[in-house]
Amino acid sequence: MRRKKKRIVFENVEVLDAAAKGKTIGKAPDGRVIFLNNAVPGDVVDVQTTKKRKAYFEGSAINFHTLSDKRVTPKCEHFGVCGGCKWQNMGYDSQLEYKQNEVTNNLTRIGHLELPEVTPILGSAAQYFYRNKMEFSFSDSRWLTLDEINSEKEITEKNALGFHIPGMWDKILDIKKCHLQADPSNAIRLEIKNFSIANGLSFFNPRNQHGLLRTVMIRTSSTGEIMVMVQFFEENKTKRELLLNHLAKTFPEITALLYVVNQKQNDTIYDQEIICFAGRDHIFEEMEGLKFKINAKSFYQTNSDQAYELYKITRDFAGLTGEELVYDLYTGTGTIAQFVSKKAKKVVGIEAVPEAIEDAKANAIHNKIENVDFFAGDMKNIFNEEFINTHGVPDTIITDPPRDGMHKDVVQQILNIAPKKVVYVSCNSATQARDLALMQELYKITKTQAVDMFPQTHHVENVVLLEKRA
């Protein structure tokens, strides 16, 4: 019989700093680091360990002796269970301080990079209700809170429409109010849930793969347009139309009411047919007079206001005069490419997702932009010598890769063609640091600017300007 390992308790641990992935750091008596999931720097706590490793522990604070002056009261009743806004208990100025520190530490410690004077992080004017896209999941056996488990009340309502409990793919927390997306997001979600329960529409069971209602996606735009897409698991036209007709009648402000019937084992929609039930099959986002068409599968930065600030910094770092050939790597739907196009001679955008490139081309036509070209293909394969010979050697490269950063072949190709400037936009400063370290012999960092796109979370974007060494 396997013996259960005894959990260790450390008393009076001072929480010293913030760490990666929203955790904080304390020190055990033997000097080993303790990663905590529920404390704020400045707290003094007793810690019960949950994992023991050679170099560190993981644990939770079980008793608070001193509360940090960085603490604030979380706005959301679901804080600590949902897992979506892990820093809601920390003041916003402190959040920005730790995000700035993370970026700087990653660049200097991982990349061993020499930095210019660091421009202070740009905070978000809106610290709540800033997201333009939210996805919610249905469940017929919702997650029960500790209060519910410990109470003697019989649990009769087990349906949920909300978020996955962190690390548990089949457990859904029912959300009463989410503070991430502005009205009418909460009203739409609650109406879907309440109407479905009242009319006997079954909620999904991910383990047993049955139930009518699977997920809901709500997108909003700065232009006031709204998209709602309901994902059904079972094909039932009568029940489907009952819900969708009710939504269309109750919320006439919905611009695009869509649905998909997805009977796969996973929720991804990128290989599914999206059907328009009412209105348009898309909404529009707008930035400096440019309009961007967004459909259910489109990628767009989820904080519209901060996306504008991020793109302005990117354009300013590029310092375009109107004479440059610019390559925009990982262009997505071409938002950055079109945003900088009026300052460039020509912009070439490259992206792996063909549907995103089709959106980019359509948006360019709609915006009457003629000095942009878009190409689809795996970056490490398409961005080759033949492509450069065909489209020209860029004066400036803008790159905004996914969290994993750039493939080493892409980095090497940039070094091969050696443009005068590279503007590197990153949502993961650790992989950004890794890539920049490979480029430091040829390039020096002349500007760096962190941007907070996601208040109440540990996530942060960073923009770096590289200029070729003399």
Return the active site residues.
427
Residues 6+ apart with CB under 8 A from 285: 132, 221, 222, 223, 291, 292, 294, 300, 304
Copy the structure tokens of residue 114.
Answer: 């020499």
Residue of 201, 184, 187 lying closest to 242 (CA atoms): 201
Q: Are 424 and 463 in contact (CB under 8 A)?
A: yes
Q: Are 294 and 217 in contact (CB under 8 A)?
A: no
Angle at 177 (CA atoms; ends 458, 89), nearest 5 degrees:
35
Q: Are 456 and 126 in contact (CB under 8 A)?
A: no
User: CA 248, CA 457: separation in Å to the nearest integer?
Assistant: 34
Torsion of the alpha carbons at 376, 382, 387 and 391, rounded to the nearest 10 = 30
Residues in the chain: 470
Strand partners, 58: 35, 51
Strand partners, 293: 284
Residues 6+ apart with CB under 8 A from 140: 158, 159, 202, 203, 204, 205, 211
Q: Are 285 and 222 in contact (CB under 8 A)?
A: yes
Other Cβ atoms within 10 Å of 365 Cβ, number: 10
SS (H, E, C) 39-102: CCCCCEEEEEEEEECCCEEEEEEEEEEECCCCECCCCCCCCCCCCCCCCCCECHHHHHHHHHHH
Burial of 121 (0-12, 13-18, 19+ CB in 10 A): buried
Residue of 245, 217, 243, 215 lying closest to 229 (CA atoms): 217
Q: Are 306 and 451 in contact (CB under 8 A)?
A: yes
SS (H, E, C) 185-226: HHHHHHHHHHHHHHCCCCECECCCCECCEEEEEEEECCCCCE
Q: Are 13 and 46 in contact (CB under 8 A)?
A: yes
Copy the structure tokens of residue 43.
Answer: 């707290």
Which amino acid appears at position 108 of this protein?
Answer: T
User: CA 286, CA 273: separation in Å to the nearest integer?
Assistant: 26
